[in-house]
Chains A and B, each alone.
Chain A
Amino acid sequence: MHELAITQRILEIALEHAGRAGARRITDIYLVIGDLSSVVDDSVQFFFDHLTPGTPAEGATLHFTRLPARYRCRACGEEFTPERGLAWQCPACQGWNVEVLQGKEFYLESIEVE
């Protein structure tokens, strides 16, 4: 989707926290991204490499933790991760009525600085 704007925001948050800690340089940034959030890792990496030169985050490594979609079937209680794609038909009872347990996450978990 709109990874440029998102990557700018990631950089802002990271620089703000590094500045507050009095760090000179950010070496690592840890992101958590749910598979339902429509954010593409490669695209974030691309824009990150483009945005960071000349900032304290230049050369920092981006770490992506992807969280797969997890659903709970409202009919039979089965908890499942879809095998292919993101479709939410219950593998146990073939029902379509589910609750999303995991997969919408999109946050900056931590940074490492020096």
Chain B
Amino acid sequence: MPKIAVVQDILSANDEIARENRRRFDQAGVFVLNLMSAPGAGKTSLVLRTIAALQPELRLGVVEGDVASQVDAERVAETGVPVVQINTGGGCHLEAHALRAALEKIPLEDLDLLLIENVGNLICPAAFPLGEHLQVVIASLPEGDDKPLKYPALFAQADAVVINKIDLAPYMDFDREAFRRRVEGLNPRVTFFEISCRTGEGLAAWADWLRRRRAEQRESVRRIGGC
């Protein structure tokens, strides 16, 4: 029986569309974040806090990913920022082609910063890049400091890890040192933020970092002559 060598990455189709998305972002001059976390860690709260901190200095847009419902998109729409909801209909993560379709409904050229809120899940989004410039993982104190041990892939590739609900620290046994050590072990270049979306603590540093990273990205696109 003839054997045919294939050696093809099974997720390569997604990666190709992600690269197309990235080219569109760079052409439009928009800086894009992929926000990932377990359900309830505070992705939508961070989106709302980021809008409050940076709009109108930067023109923001949001893509909301959820299995079902429009509730997140409705909350974001109240701020006046353009928002598109993707319902995955059972899918456990956003894929690059679903984002590509959603981008048709967002005025990319009029934006400086696009926040993509992925489906609440610490496993699957890790394998599906969307074309984003930065990956941000949000962890929250009630989840426990062992999550990087249980779900290493997402933490290993994050550009930033945001520790949310820091106002609950007195009531939680979350060992922040152990948490950071575990993440940094796999991912020495990661940047940490400790924040509370409830009180606003730590959000100024987060907003400063976004301003700086966006400026650096624009500069690097300019240097290599766009795309």
Contacts and interface: CB of A to CB of B under 8 A. Distances in A.
B4 A97 contact: no
Interface string B81-101: 000000000011101000000
Interface stretch (B8-16, B33-41, B42-50, B213-221): B8-16
Interface stretch (B54-62, B167-175, B181-189, B199-207): B181-189
Given A36-B153, A38-B153, A112 B3 contact: yes
Contact of A108 (B2, B8, B182): B8
A110 B152 contact: no
A36 B153 CA distance: 7
Given A96-B185, A106-B10, A36 B3 contact: no
A80 to B, nearest CB: 13
B10 A109 contact: no
Given A9-B13, A38-B126, A114-B1, A100 B7 contact: no
B7 A1 contact: no
B77 interface: no
Contacts of A111: 3-4, 6
| Interface of B, helix, strand, loop or mixed by DSSP | mixed
Contacts of B7: 107-110
B210 interface: no
| Interface of A, helix, strand, loop or mixed by DSSP | mixed
A2 B3 contact: no
Contact of B185 (A14, A28, A97, A107): A97
15 contacts: A2-B91, A17-B4, A38-B126, A86-B152, A89-B185, A95-B185, A97-B184, A106-B11, A106-B127, A107-B9, A108-B10, A110-B5, A110-B6, A113-B1, A113-B4
Nearest to B125: A1
Interface size for chain B: under 10, 10 to 19, 20 to 34, or 35 or more residues? 20 to 34
Interface of B: 1-11, 13, 91-93, 95, 123-124, 126-127, 149, 152-153, 156, 181-182, 184-186, 188
Interface size for chain A: under 10, 10 to 19, 20 to 34, or 35 or more residues? 35 or more
Contacts of A43: none
A1 B123 contact: yes
Contacts of B123: 1, 38
Interface centre among A2, A10, A27, A100 (most CB of B within 10 A): A2
A21 to B, nearest CB: 6
Nearest to A97: B185
Contacts of B156: 100
Contacts of B11: 6, 9, 106
A110 B3 contact: yes
Contacts of B124: 1-2, 38
A74 B9 CA distance: 28
Contacts of A37: 127, 153
Contacts of A76: none
Given A36-B153, A38-B126, A97-B185, A113 B2 contact: yes
A39 to B, nearest CB: 9
A92 interface: no
Contacts of B9: 106-107
